[in-house]
Structure 1
Amino acid sequence: MTRTAGAPIGCQRPSRFWGLGCPKIYHEAEDTLVVFTEVVASDGPINRQRKEILTTLATEAGFNPEHLAFLTAFLDRSSQPFKKSISELAWGSYAWFSTEPDYIIDLREHDESVKLTSLSNRNK
């Protein structure tokens, strides 16, 4: 499998924000889905600011913003980190729980509204 490095980008963010420094972004095709995942043990979900920064980095590297996804992973819905950060989760992102691996919470943007009746029809 051949990987192509994204366009060179300068990292102007402090390394403490990224943990281990600036991420290296690679892509294999124009239609690749890039999933940014934040694993939360104490705090630090994908909030609006992080989503904006990651989107900027990815688009500068040549990715289509429509092919980006943002996921915050938690241990459990009843855990303190989730309860503490639920209000900070970015719209247009997802939340996932290791104790419920088959399910995901979709925090839809305001322009992606869904009628409740269509949701009830999906469960039939």
Structure 2
Amino acid sequence: MQKRYNKPTTVNDKEQMPNLIANLDDLSDVRATDMTYIQLTYKSRIYMASVYVPENRKVLAYQIADIMTAQLATTVIVKALRRGDEPLYVHSGMGSQYTSALFESTLAAVGIKHSYFRKGCPYDNARIEICHLLLKR
């Protein structure tokens, strides 16, 4: 087992945004996105953002960076869009990267609706969380 480290967090004072996919039966037009950290040494880590297809459990795009920014979150969405993937919904957390003007305007420019999982409830985005967990192990 790996030793647990203090997880990095971001602060967001926004009210809870809507979860548009909570009652969907068909997830074929949904893409989940999230960021995770990968511990390199005791004091250094990198961050990976990814776009995930919940229906067939595939990672469409990912990007690695030294810092967790809105640009990192947006880059993976743009990569997925360049592959010809145009979902109706992108489901993400409520971190400052995903509520940023850059991220929101990128989705709005191509007509994608933004769905959010509830604050403090990783189970809403469990599929991508498990994907990241498997990668870390």
Flag the structure with higher strand content: 2
Relative contact order, CA 8 A, sep 6+: which one is greater? 2
Flag the structure with higher helix content: 1
Larger Rg: 1
